[in-house]
Amino acid sequence: MSELKRVRVRYAPSPTGFVHIGNLRTALYNYLFARHNGGDFILRIEDTDRTRYFPEAVENIINTLKWAGIDYDEGPVKGGLHAPYYQSERLKIYKEHTDFLIKEEKAYYCFCTAERLNMLRREQKNQKLPQTKYDKYCLNLPAREVSKKLNDGIPYVIRLNVEPEKSIRFNDYIRGEVEFSGNTIDDQILIKSDRYPTYHLANVVDDYLMGITHVIRGEEWLPSTPKHVLLYEAFGWKKPIFAHLPLLLNPDRTKLSKRQGDVTVEDYIKKGYLKEALINFIALLGWTAGDDRELYDLNELIDVFTLERVNKSGAIFDIEKLNWLNAEHLRKKSDSELIKSLRNELNKSKYSKLQLSDEYLKKVTDSMKERVSFIKEFYEKGFYFFEEPVTYEETAVRKGWKGKQSEEILKKFKEKINQLENPSRQDYETVLNDTAAELNTGKGNIIHPLRLALTGVSGGPGIIDIMFIIGKEQTIRRIDSITEKLR
Ligand code: GLU
């Protein structure tokens, strides 16, 4: 960046629901950009649309950022030089700013009723006008009449006086030169009849007052930007740099939506995705470092992230990639992190009552690490480390259980195990080899029925590992159990 000014960026969500994946990306890109450039990252709550207010949303925003490790410098709870960071607490500021615009004749009071506006819209539609727009009727009200209406308490809104026909151009950091024809821009409302500002006014005023240098947000806000540009001009303020991030798309290139899958961060947390994986995945939704590398942690992203490498075209949400990243990040975790995460999950599962040592969980994670993509899978796929099998997979029985023959083999094997004291991994291996030699049979004839007995299923970690983990007593118990059940 050639900017000399300290970089200041913001994430400015409206608290209307749980944080959407797209919003987390906006927050992340702003955060990465701020950290990469040694700037500030601000959280601002844009809660001026009282009709869409969702009470749990703010808490969800703050918790989601915390969960993801996206730390803001100024904002709710933390405060900062530009507090308050809730727009609903800044109404006085917006009023002062519209008072100024009215004085400068750049904005005006509008008393038109909903009926009149509806009629106007209908008429314009009938005339087949490409765009329905307010007709500036109230712009021409005599000052005396305006004062009288205000004194009489007639409901009003405040509108920006937009010069018709003026086309608006600005440079978007990602999209380049963007132009909007002035014909398409209405005399937008700045203050609504409930005295709250609209998004446009509050957003521009706050970005300016909070010293925001770069506005990084989703492409869905691009059509609002000309309105913002007009507001900057009306106030006589220098515009920030705009950077609009590409849309998020389903694999069929339709806009990412609830109908096609999960869209809130909450959904992914509940499904057991690791924050490292989700952050890594979201970083790649519209950005690459320009090479083939895909695996990053947050600090590595801070090092390499630049806006120059954000794409213009829509980013496809590929769940397979997220799953792959989850597995990769899971394997990157240290033993103690893995054990901690597994214990957390176990505590929420049907195995919550089991008393398991860290040593036991380490053996489980060591043996399963290469076979799982999610923490939960340690006990979903490896359930036999936490309970005895109650049923035996049918195909595995057909393949691995040879009736009397298997019974005899396991009996022999069990006798040998029984003689061991505190067996090591090597002991199990030796017993397995000795049994095969004594009975003059292939090791497969032991391993298959043994695996069935110990796990009830056909795949999984090496059988020696399984015995070593569940231990001698369980090994014997499970052999006894299968011979009874499959007899
Ligand atoms: N309040 C808007 C939102 O909900 C902010 C858009 C912007 O960043 O300007 O995303």
pLDDT of residue 97: 98
Q: What is the CATH number assigned to the segment(s) 388-485?
A: 1.10.10.350
CB atoms under 10 Å from CB of 355, counted, come to: 5
CB atoms under 10 Å from CB of 122, counted, come to: 11
- The pLDDT tens digits of the residues spanning 119-166 come to 999 999 999 888 889 999 999 999 999 999 999 999 999 999 998 878
pLDDT of residue 165: 77
CA of 435 to the centre of ligand 1 (A): 70
Q: Which of 59-63, 178-182, 409-413 has the lowest mean pLDDT?
A: 178-182
Predicted confidence (pLDDT) at residue 92 exceeds the cutoff of 80? yes
Contacts of 70 (CB under 8 A, 6+ apart): 27, 28, 31, 41
pLDDT of residue 256: 86
User: Is there a contact between 107 and 94 (Cβ–Cβ < 8 Å)?
Assistant: no
> What are the domain boundaries of the chain?
90-245, 258-331, 333-376, 388-485
pLDDT of residue 18: 95
> Average pLDDT in the 431-447 region?
96
User: Is there a contact between 315 and 249 (Cβ–Cβ < 8 Å)?
Assistant: yes
CA of 12 to the centre of ligand 1 (A): 5
387 φψ region: left (φ > 0), alpha (ψ -120 to 50), beta (else): beta
User: Is there a contact between 78 and 72 (Cβ–Cβ < 8 Å)?
Assistant: yes
- From residue 274, how far is each of 83, 175, 339 by CA, in Å? 33, 32, 14
Quickly name the fold that domain 258-331 has: Glutamyl-tRNA Synthetase; domain 2 (1.10.1160)
The protein residue whose alpha carbon is closest to atom 3 in ligand 1 is 13
Predicted confidence (pLDDT) at residue 344 exceeds the cutoff of 90? yes
User: Is there a contact between 315 and 282 (Cβ–Cβ < 8 Å)?
Assistant: no
Query: Alpha-carbon distance 463 to 459, whole Å?
Result: 10
Q: What letter does residue 7 receive in the DSSP assignment?
A: P
Query: Alpha-carbon distance 341 to 330, whole Å?
Result: 10
Nearest to 207 by CA among 181, 235, 245: 235
pLDDT of residue 424: 97
User: Is there a contact between 93 and 52 (Cβ–Cβ < 8 Å)?
Assistant: no
User: Is there a contact between 250 and 316 (Cβ–Cβ < 8 Å)?
Assistant: yes
The protein residue whose alpha carbon is closest to atom 10 in ligand 1 is 13
pLDDT of residue 55: 86
pLDDT of residue 144: 97
Report the sign of the C-alpha dihedral through residues 360, 366, 368, 373, in that order: positive
What does the CA dihedral 138, 185, 200, 17 come to, rounded to 10 degrees? 110
CA of 297 to the centre of ligand 1 (A): 26
Which of 9, 10, 11, 14 best tests ligand 1's pocket when mutated (most atoms within 8 Å of CB)? 14
The protein residue whose alpha carbon is closest to atom 2 in ligand 1 is 13
Query: Alpha-carbon distance 461 to 338, whole Å?
Result: 18
CA of 288 to the centre of ligand 1 (A): 24
pLDDT of residue 164: 83
Residues identified as active-site = 258
Three-state secondary structure call for residue 304: helix
> Average pLDDT in the 17-36 region?
97
CA of 218 to the centre of ligand 1 (A): 8
pLDDT band at 258 (very low <50, low <70, confident <90, very high): confident
The protein residue whose alpha carbon is closest to atom 5 in ligand 1 is 12
CB atoms under 10 Å from CB of 130, counted, come to: 8
pLDDT of residue 129: 84
Which of 41, 203, 229, 239 best tests ligand 1's pocket when mutated (most atoms within 8 Å of CB)? 203
> Average pLDDT in the 98-116 region?
97
pLDDT of residue 252: 87
Q: What is the CATH number assigned to the segment(s) 90-245?
A: 3.40.50.620
pLDDT of residue 16: 94
Predicted confidence (pLDDT) at residue 203 exceeds the cutoff of 90? yes
Percent of the chain residues topping a pLDDT of 90: 90
Of ligand 1's listed atoms, the one at least distance from the Cα of 11 is 8
Of ligand 1's listed atoms, the one at least distance from the Cα of 10 is 8
What's the mean pLDDT when you consider all of the chain?
Answer: 95
- The pLDDT tens digits of the residues spanning 323-343 come to 999 999 999 999 999 999 999
Query: Alpha-carbon distance 203 to 114, whole Å?
Result: 25
In this structure, the residues whose C-beta lies within 6 A of any atom of ligand 1 are 12-14, 46, 199, 203, 217, 221
CA of 217 to the centre of ligand 1 (A): 7
Predicted confidence (pLDDT) at residue 105 exceeds the cutoff of 90? yes
pLDDT of residue 486: 85
CA of 14 to the centre of ligand 1 (A): 6
> Average pLDDT in the 51-66 region?
94
User: Is there a contact between 62 and 24 (Cβ–Cβ < 8 Å)?
Assistant: no
Predicted confidence (pLDDT) at residue 377 exceeds the cutoff of 70? yes
Buried b (16+ CB within 10 A) or exposed e, 209-218: ebebbbbbbb
Of ligand 1's listed atoms, the one at least distance from the Cα of 16 is 4
Predicted confidence (pLDDT) at residue 4 exceeds the cutoff of 90? no
pLDDT band at 181 (very low <50, low <70, confident <90, very high): confident
Higher confidence at residue 390 or residue 131? 390
> Average pLDDT in the 283-307 region?
96
Predicted confidence (pLDDT) at residue 1 exceeds the cutoff of 70? no
Of ligand 1's listed atoms, the one at least distance from the Cα of 216 is 8
Query: Alpha-carbon distance 112 to 429, whole Å?
Result: 88
Of ligand 1's listed atoms, the one at least distance from the Cα of 46 is 1
CA angle 7, 10, 11 (to 5 degrees): 150
